[in-house]
Structure 1
Amino acid sequence: MRLKAWIPLALVALMSPLSAVAEEVPLDRIVAVVNDDAIMHSQLESRVAQARNQLQSRNIQAPPGQALERQVLDRMIVEQIELQMAENANLNIDETQLNTTMRGIAKNNGLTLDQFADQLEQQGQTLAEVREQVRRELLIRQVQQSQVASKVTVSDREVDRFLEQNSQTSNASYHLAQILVAVPQSPTPDQVKQAQSKAQDLHQQLQNGADFQQLAVAQSDGAQALQGGDLGWRPAAQIPSIFAEVVPALSQGEVSQPIRSPSGFHLVKLLETRGNSGGKMTREQASQAIFQRKVNDELEAWTQEIRASAYIDNRLDQG
C-alpha cells in the first residue's frame, strides 16, 4: 500500500523507500552554505530521492543530469532561510498543534495514527522523522503568515471598487500551472533581457511539443517547480492580478506568452476550467478575494527578497 501525497512544499513524496545501504559509505560533503547553516550532500540525496518518487507518482519524467538536484537544492535553500527566520523570531509549534496535524494526515490517508506509523515503517520512515518534517513545514507557514499575509490589508474603498468592476463576477475557477523565469531584485537591463529571451525560448519549446510539466521541473524558478509547476485551482477573483486578464482568454491546454511581473517572466498554462455562471459577490467574499490575490502577488516577490538578502554559497557543481 502506498500512502498518497499529503502535504505540499517541503514534504513532497516523504514516503519514498530508503535505498539499500552501501557497503562503503562515502564521506559527506557540504553542497550549500546558507548564512550560518550547511546543507549536506546526504540531505540533498535524500530529498532528491523523495522528489523522484513524487514525480513518478504524478507520471512526470524527471529531468536529466543535475537539473533535479539543482531544483531540489534551491527549495532546500529557501526553506533553510525561512526556518532561520522562524528561529530568530522565536516561533515554535506546540505538541498539541503537531499532534492534531499528524492525526489529520493519518486520517487523510484513511488510517489511524498507529496504522500510519506502521505504514511509514514499512516504507523506511519513522513517525519521528515525519513529525520533524511536519514541524518544519508548519514553522515555514508561520513565517509566511507573519511576514506576508499578516501585512496585507484590504480597505473599504478597495472592496467598493472591486464590486463595481466585478458586479457580475464569473464563478469560474481555473486550474493553472506556471513556469517562472526569475529576475534578481533591481535587475540590470541585460538581466531582464536574458530572462525574457529564456522565457521566449521556453515558450517556443512548448509550441514545438515539449512537455510542460517536465520543462517546469527542469527550468522553472517557481516554488511549484517540483510539482510540474502546478498552481492548483484558483477562483477567478483570486487569480494573481498579473494573470487576471490573460487566463480567461486562454483555451484549455493553452500556454500564455511570457507575462512580466516584478519576479520575472511567467508562462501560464490553463489546465482546466469549471463553472462559468455569473453571480453577485458579497462584501465579505470580495474582501477575501482581494486579500488572497494580494498574498499571491506578494509571496513570490518576498521569497526572492529573503533569498537575495541571505548569504548563500552554492557548491553543488563544485563537487
Structure 2
Amino acid sequence: MRPRVWIPLALVMLLSPLSAMAEVVQLDRIVAVVNDDAIMHSQLERRVAQARDQLQANNIQMPPEQALERQVLDRMITEQIELQMAKNAKLSIDETQLNSTMRGIAQNNGMTLDEFANKLEQQGQTLAEVREQVRRELLIRQVQQDRVASRITVSDREVDRFLAQRGGNSNVAYHLAQILIAVPQSPTPDQVAQAQAEAQKLYQQLQEGADFQQLAVAESDDAQALQGGDLGWRQAAQIPSIFADVIPDLSKGEVSEPIRSPSGFHLVKLIDTRGGDSGQMTRDQASQAIFQRKVNDELEAWTQEIRASAYIDNRLDNG
C-alpha cells in the first residue's frame, strides 16, 4: 500500500474551508515536541513502515507494534536534536556531495541512478524523498564529527602502548551486536538498579531462547536497535574499551552478561570472528584504530548528553 501523502497542517488550514478543519485536524496529531519542533503522527507512520520493510528484508522477527513505534520515535527524537544542532551551526550539504552519495547508494545496490529511482517508485517512494533522508543523515554525521570526533586526540605514547600490548596483530575482527539498557546522566542508585534489573531480565530471556534481534528492536536504547542491534564488523583494536576483556572469551552466538558503562548496561553478542594471523599493524593503522575506539566510546554518552539538555515531550503513549 502506498504511503499517505502528508501536507503540513498549517498549510491545510490556509487552503481548506472552515467546515473541513475539524476533519483535517483528526487526520494528524503531534506525537512528540523536541525543543521548538514537532514530530507528527503521519511522519512517524512513514518511518515505522520503512522500519518494518527493513526488518522484513533482514529477516528480523517483528516486535510488537507499540514497541516498534516507540523505538522509531525515540530514534526520530534524537535525529531531530542533531538536525537542530546542524541548523544552529549553519552546516549544510552541497549538491555535489549529495549527488555523489546518491550515486554510491545506487551502485551499492547494483543499479544506475535512474534504475534506483524506478525501483523506489515501485516501492512507493520517490528519489526526492530518499535524497532528503540521505541529506539529513549526512548532516547528522557532520554534527557528530564536529561535536565528538573533533575533540578526540591520539598521542604517540598511546600508539606505542597499543602496539606493545597487541604485538602488532591487527587481523582479528569481531561481528558484534548489542542491546543497551540506558541510564540517564547522573543517575540515582534506584535508576541504576532498575536498568540493571531490566538488563538481567533480558539476559535471562536470551538464555531461555528468546530471539536477540527481536529483543534488540523492541528494547534496546542503542542507535542500532532497528538493525537488530547489529554493530557490524569491528577490528579487535576498535571495539569499545569496556568490551575488550569480555568479547575474546565469548563463543560464536554467545551473549555476555550485562556489562556496565557510563551509558548503561550492555548485552553483547558475538556473531562471528575472522582473522587472527600475525599481520603487522602500522603506526597509522594503530592510531586510526585507537581513534575509532574512542569515537565508539564517546558517541553513546554524547547522545544521552544532548537528549538530557533538550526539551522533549513524548506524547505517543498519551495519544
Q: CA deviation at 1:65?
A: 3.8
1:63-142 matches, within 5 Å, as 63-142=63-142
Q: The residue matched to 1:66 in structure 2 has which SS?
A: helix
Flag as ranges the 4+ runs of structure 1 deviating above 3 A: none
Cα distance, 1:165–1:65 mapped onto 2, change above 3 Å:
same
> Does the aligned pair in 2 maintain the 1:78–1:307 contact within 8 Å?
yes
CA contact (8 A) 1:174 1:271 kept: yes
Note if contact 1:200-1:258 (Cα within 8 Å) is conserved in structure 2: yes
State the number of aligned residues: 301
Q: TM-score, normalised by structure 1?
A: 0.92
Farther-moved stretch of structure 1 (48-57 vs 106-115): 106-115
One-letter code aligned to 2:2: L
Deviation at 1:266, TM superposition (A): 0.2
**Structure 2 CA distance, aligned partners of 1:296 and 1:173?**
15
Check the 8 A contact 2:3/2:46 in 1, yes or no: no
SS at match of 2:268: strand
Give the Cα–Cα distance (whole angstroms) in 1 for the partners of residues 77 and 188 of structure 2: 24
Report whether the alignment pairs 1:203 with 2:203: yes
Contact 1:33–1:312 at 8 Å: present in 2 too? Answer: yes
Equivalent pairs: percent with the same residue?
82
Matches within 5 A, 1:221-240: 221-240=221-240
Contact 1:18 1:124 (C-alpha < 8 Å) held by counterparts? yes
Report the Cα offset of residue 278 of structure 1: 2.7
Pick the structure with more helix per residue: 2
Q: Distance in 1 between matches of 2:210 and 2:91?
A: 43
Taking the aligned partners of 2:252 and 2:170, their CA distance within structure 1 comes to: 17
The structural deviation recorded for 1:114 is 1.6
| RMSD (Å) for aligned C-alpha atoms | 1.4
Matches within 5 A, 1:1-319: 18-19=2-3, 26-169=26-169, 171-319=171-319
Cα distance 1:170–1:110, how it changes in 2: closer, same or farther (>3 A)?
closer
Extract unaligned runs of 5+ from structure 2: 6-22
Secondary structure, counterpart of 1:180 in structure 2: strand
8 Å CA contact retained: 1:48, 1:68: yes
Task: Name the amino acid aligned to 1:75.
Answer: R
Cα distance in 2 between the residues matched to 1:44 and 1:133: 14
Per-residue CA deviation, residues 132-176 of structure 1 (Å, 9 max, x unaligned), is 111111000100111111111001111111112112435211000
Alpha carbons of structure 1 residues 19 and 94: separation in structure 2 relative to 1, 3 Å: closer
Q: Is the 8 A contact 1:169 1:237 kept in 2?
A: no
Measure the CA separation in 1 of the matches of 2:150 and 2:287. 15
Counterpart of 1:268, as a letter, is: V
Structure 1: segments with no counterpart, 5+ residues: 1-16
**Counterpart code for 2:39:** I
Q: Which amino acid aligns with 1:275?
A: G
Distance 2:2 2:226 in 1: 20
Kindly provide the CA deviation profile for residues 265-298 of structure 1, in whole angstroms up to 9, marking residues without a partner as x.
0000000011111333211111111101000000
| 2:52–2:62 Cα contact (<8 Å) kept | yes
| Alpha-carbon separation, structure 2, partners of 1:194 and 1:257 | 16
Alpha-carbon distance in structure 1 between the residues aligned to 2:206 and 2:308 = 30
Report the AA paired with residue 186 of structure 2.
Answer: S
Between the aligned partners of 1:136 and 1:65, the Cα distance in structure 2 is: 26
Q: TM-score, normalised by structure 2?
A: 0.92
Q: Distance in 2 between matches of 1:284 and 1:245?
A: 24
Aligned residue type for 2:255: V
| Aligned mates of 2:78, 2:175 — CA distance in 1 | 25
Q: Is the 8 Å Cα contact of residues 170 and 281 (structure 2) preserved in structure 1?
A: no
Counterpart code for 1:54: Q
For residues 99 and 171 of structure 1, the distance between their equivalents in structure 2, rounded to whole angstroms, comes to 34
Distance 1:283 1:170, change over 3 A: closer
